[in-house]
C-alpha cells in the first residue's frame, strides 16, 4: 500500500482539560490519569495513528499556544480533547476559534464504575467529565466547530473502534492536504457528473489535480528495461492464474509484455511525481498499445486512487477510502453501477468497469486474461478477472453541485452471484443495496449521485461521516433506516442551507 503522506510522523494529540481551582495535587493526578488513558488506548485500541499525551490545560494562553502548535505542526493530524474535571470554556474560545486541525471530543471517565461504598466529595471532584465535557461541548457548539463526539468508557471496544475510525478519517484528511492527482487525458467527452471545479476542490480538500501529456507517460513506458519487464511478468505468474494464450509461447504473450511495460511506466511516473492518484480515459491513449487494465488494477491495490474517464473526484475518494480502510479486512475499489437484476424484491446491482476493478475485492486468485474491448480503438487489453468476496460494504461518491460538494454513501451487501459469470471478462461485484433497491437507487438519483463510486468493504459509513465533518461537506447516507421522504427533506434542507451560506471559494 502506498503509505499515506505523513503517516510515519503522524500524531494525534490527547489534550486533557482542567483548571487551577483544584490545586496542584489534583492537577498532577489529572495528568497521571490522562497518561494512563493514553497508554491504555495505545496498547488496546490498535490505533492507526500514534496518540501523544499533552499537558493538562488550565488557562487560555496555554490552550491558544497548543492550538497554534497543532496548526503549525506537520506531524499533528488532530486533537482528542477530554475534560477530566470542569474546565471553564471561555478559556477555550481563543484556541478553538483558531484551530485548523480535526477535533475529536472523547467524553469518557477514568473509572468505569462508581465506587459505591467509598465514594466521597474528593472522588466526585476529580471525576467530573460528566459536567466538564458538557461545558466543553457547549463552547464548541456555540463557536460552530465541527467535531466528533465519542461517548463511553475508554476501554469499551465500541469507543475504541469509534476513535480509530475517526483517527483513520483524520489520517485520510491529512494525506489529502498534500494529495496529487495526475490526469492522463481530460474528461470523457460530454459527460457531466465526472466534471467539476478543480480549483474549488483544492480549496476545500487540499488535493491538486493536474493534467499531463500522454507523451510524458509514453516516455516513462519506453524506459522500462527488459529485465524489469521480465521481473514483473514473473510476479504476474506467481500472483495470478495466467490464461493459456498469455503464457510463455502463447499466441498473445506480446500483449502481456505490453501490459507489463505500461504498468512499469505508469508506476514510475506516479512514484517520481509523488502522486497519490490518477485518471485516464479511453478517448486519449496516444502512444499506448492498449488501455491500461492490469496496471491500473495493481496500482489501485497498492493504494493509489483511480478514476476512469478523467474522473478525478472518484480518484481522490478512492485514495481517501484506501487510507481509511488500510489494514482492515476487505477490499476497496473504483466501481461503477453497471447492470441490474430487477426481479421484484430480489433486485441486485452488478458493478464492474471496462477493466479497472481493484483485485483487493477478489474472493479468489484472479486470472489474467485478454479480451477485445469494443471501444477505444486500441489492441485488446490485458486485465485481472475475478468475482468480489461477499460482505457488508459501503458505496460512496463525491459530487460537485456547482456551489458545493456533496458526499453520498449507500450501505450495500455484497453477495456471491447466484450462477457463475463465465462469459464476463472483467472483475465484478454483485450487491443488494440498503434499505432496498427502489429506495436506494431513487435516493441516489434524487441526490445527483454519479455512476462512478468507491466501493469499500474495509471502510465504513461512520468513517465517511467523520471525514465529511472534518472536510466541512455534507453527507447524504442511504442505509437500512432510509426512507425516500426523509431523503427528499434532507435534500431540500441542504439546498436551502446552501443558498444562505457564503459561496464557495
Interacting stretch for Mn ion, rule CB under 5 A, among 96-104, 217-225, 328-336, 487-495? Answer: 328-336
| Sheet-wide strand order for 76-83 | 50-53, 11-17, 76-83, 103-107, 148-151
| Binders of Mn ion in range 334-353 (CB under 5 A) | 336
| Binders of Mn ion in range 474-493 (CB under 5 A) | none
Residue 65: count other Cβ atoms within 10 Å of its Cβ: 14
Distances (CA, A) of 176 to 10, 78, 202, 312, 340: 14, 14, 9, 13, 34
Question: Residue 354 CB, nearest distance to Mn ion (Å)?
Answer: 7
- What CA–CA distance (Å, rounded) separates 305 from 331? 13
Question: Residue 476 CB, nearest distance to Mn ion (Å)?
Answer: 21
Provide the strand spans (E) within 139-197: 148-151, 180-184
Question: Residue 307 CB, nearest distance to Mn ion (Å)?
Answer: 9
Question: Residue 183 CB, nearest distance to Mn ion (Å)?
Answer: 15
**Please, which residue, 34 or 355, has the CB nearer to Mn ion?**
355
Question: Residue 336 CB, nearest distance to Mn ion (Å)?
Answer: 5
Buried b (16+ CB within 10 A) or exposed e, 28-60: ebbbebbeebbeebeeebebbbbbebbebbbee
Interacting stretch for Mn ion, rule CB under 5 A, among 62-70, 199-207, 300-308, 412-420? Answer: 300-308
**Please, which residue, 102 or 351, has the CB nearer to Mn ion?**
351
CB 202 within 8 A of CB 177: no
**Please, which residue, 17 or 449, has the CB nearer to Mn ion?**
449
- What CA–CA distance (Å, rounded) separates 197 from 347? 35
**Please, which residue, 220 or 335, has the CB nearer to Mn ion?**
335
Q: Which residues are bridge partners to 83 per DSSP? A: 17
Q: Which residues are bridge partners to 151 per DSSP? A: 107
Using rule CB under 5 A, residue 373 touches Mn ion: no
**3-state SS, residue 438:** helix
Question: Residue 210 CB, nearest distance to Mn ion (Å)?
Answer: 21
**Please, which residue, 96 or 308, has the CB nearer to Mn ion?**
308
Interacting stretch for Mn ion, rule CB under 5 A, among 47-55, 332-340, 420-428, 473-481? Answer: 332-340
Question: Residue 356 CB, nearest distance to Mn ion (Å)?
Answer: 8
Distances (CA, A) of 321 to 4, 440, 455, 470, 500: 11, 21, 9, 14, 31
Interacting stretch for Mn ion, rule CB under 5 A, among 18-26, 146-154, 308-316, 490-498? Answer: 308-316
- What CA–CA distance (Å, rounded) separates 78 from 167? 8
**Please, which residue, 308 or 318, has the CB nearer to Mn ion?**
308
Question: Residue 311 CB, nearest distance to Mn ion (Å)?
Answer: 7
Q: Which of 308, 318, 335, 457 binds Mn ion (CB under 5 A)?
A: 308
**Please, which residue, 266 or 335, has the CB nearer to Mn ion?**
335
Interacting stretch for Mn ion, rule CB under 5 A, among 6-14, 132-140, 167-175, 301-309? Answer: 301-309
CB 417 within 8 A of CB 458: no
- What CA–CA distance (Å, rounded) separates 370 from 384? 9
Question: Residue 169 CB, nearest distance to Mn ion (Å)?
Answer: 27
**Please, which residue, 76 or 308, has the CB nearer to Mn ion?**
308
| Binders of Mn ion in range 406-445 (CB under 5 A) | none
| Binders of Mn ion in range 138-177 (CB under 5 A) | none
Interacting stretch for Mn ion, rule CB under 5 A, among 53-61, 110-118, 309-317, 361-369? Answer: 309-317
**Please, which residue, 336 or 387, has the CB nearer to Mn ion?**
336
**Please, which residue, 455 or 487, has the CB nearer to Mn ion?**
455
CB 7 within 8 A of CB 171: yes
Question: Residue 338 CB, nearest distance to Mn ion (Å)?
Answer: 9
Question: Cβ contacts of residue 397 below 8 Å, gap of 6+?
Answer: 313, 314, 317, 407, 408, 409, 449, 450, 452, 453, 454
Q: What would the grid cell of residue 86 be?
A: 470542569
| Binders of Mn ion in range 275-294 (CB under 5 A) | none
Name the strand (E) or helix (H) holding 295.
helix 294-301
Please tell me the count of residues contacting Mn ion according to CB under 5 A.
Answer: 3
**Please, which residue, 164 or 336, has the CB nearer to Mn ion?**
336
Helix, strand, coil % over all residues of the chain, rounded to 5: 40, 20, 35
- What CA–CA distance (Å, rounded) separates 136 from 309? 47
Question: Residue 12 CB, nearest distance to Mn ion (Å)?
Answer: 37
Using CB under 5 A, list all residues that contact Mn ion: 308-309, 336
Amino acid at each position: 500500500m502506498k503509505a499515506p503522506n505523513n503517516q510515519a510522523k503522524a500524531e494525534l494529540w490527547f489534550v486533557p482539560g482542567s483548571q487551577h481551582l483544584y490545586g496542584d495535587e489534583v492537577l498532577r493526578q489529572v495528568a497521571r490519569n490522562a497518561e494512563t488513558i493514553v497508554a491504555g488506548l495505545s496498547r488496546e485500541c490498535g490505533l492507526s495513528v500514534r496518540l501523544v499525551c499533552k499537558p493538562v490545560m488550565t488557562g487560555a494562553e496555554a490552550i491558544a499556544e497548543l492550538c497554534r502548535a497543532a496548526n503549525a505542526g506537520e506531524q499533528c493530524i488532530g486533537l482528542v480533547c477530554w475534560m477530566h474535571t470542569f474546565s471553564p470554556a471561555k478559556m477555550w474560545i481563543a484556541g478553538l476559534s483558531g484551530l485548523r486541525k480535526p477535533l475529536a471530543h472523547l467524553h469518557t471517565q477514568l473509572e468505569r464504575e462508581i465506587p459505591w461504598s467509598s465514594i466521597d466529595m474528593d472522588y466526585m471532584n476529580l471525576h467530573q467529565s460528566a459536567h466538564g465535557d458538557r461545558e466543553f461541548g457547549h463552547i464548541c457548539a456555540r463557536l460552530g466547530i465541527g467535531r466528533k463526539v465519542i461517548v463511553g468508557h475508554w476501554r469499551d471496544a465500541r469507543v475504541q473502534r469509534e476513535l480509530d475510525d475517526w483517527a483513520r478519517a483524520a489520517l485520510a484528511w491529512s494525506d489529502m492536504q498534500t494529495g496529487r492527482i495526475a490526469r492522463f487525458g481530460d474528461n470523457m467527452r460530454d459527460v457531466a457528473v465526472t466534471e467539476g471545479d478543480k480549483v474549488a476542490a483544492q480549496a476545500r480538500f487540499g488535493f491538486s489535480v493536474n493534467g499531463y501529456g500522454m507523451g510524458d507517460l509514453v516516455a516513462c513506458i519506453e524506459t522500462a528495461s527488459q529485465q524489469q519487464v521480465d521481473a514483473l511478468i514473473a510476479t504476474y505468474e506467481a500472483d495470478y492464474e495466467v490464461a493459456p494464450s498469455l503464457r510463455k509461447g502463447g499466441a498473445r504473450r506480446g500483449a502481456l509484455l505490453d501490459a507489463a511495460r505500461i504498468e512499469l511506466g505508469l508506476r514510475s511516473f506516479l512514484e517520481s511525481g509523488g502522486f497519490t492518484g490518477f485518471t485516464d480515459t479511453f478517448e486519449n491513449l496516444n502512444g499506448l498499445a492498449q488501455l491500461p487494465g492490469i496496471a491500473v488494477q495493481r496500482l489501485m491495490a497498492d493504494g493509489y486512487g483511480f478514476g476512469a474517464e478523467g474522473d478525478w473526484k472518484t480518484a481522490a475518494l478512492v485514495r481517501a477510502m484506501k487510507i481509511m480502510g488500510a489494514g482492515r479486512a476487505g477490499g476497496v475499489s473504483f466501481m461503477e453501477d453497471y447492470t441490474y437484476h430487477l426481479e421484484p424484491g430480489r433486485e441486485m446491482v452488478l458493478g464492474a468497469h471496462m477493466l479497472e476493478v481493484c483485485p483487493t475485492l477478489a474472493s479468489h486468485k484472479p486470472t489474467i486474461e485478454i479480451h477485445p474491448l469494443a471501444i477505444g480503438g486500441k489492441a485488446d487489453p490485458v486485465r485481472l478477472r475475478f468475482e468480489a468476496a461477499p460482505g457488508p460494504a459501503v458505496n460512496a461518491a463525491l459530487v460537485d453541485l456547482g456551489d458545493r460538494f456533496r458526499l453520498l454513501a449507500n450501505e450495500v451487501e455484497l453477495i456471491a452471484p447466484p450462477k457463475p459469470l463465465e462469459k464476463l471478462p472483467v472483475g465484478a461485484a454483485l450487491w443488494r443495496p440498503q434499505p432496498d433497491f427502489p429506495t436506494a437507487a431513487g435516493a441516489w438519483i434524487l441526490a445527483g449521485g454519479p455512476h462512478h463510486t468507491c466501493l469499500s468493504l474495509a471502510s465504513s459509513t461512520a468513517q465517511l461521516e467523520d471525514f465529511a465533518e472534518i472536510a466541512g461537506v455534507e453527507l447524504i447516507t442511504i442505509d437500512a433506516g432510509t426512507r425516500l421522504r426523509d431523503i427528499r427533506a434532507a435534500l431540500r434542507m441542504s439546498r436551502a442551507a446552501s443558498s444562505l451560506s457564503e459561496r464557495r471559494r
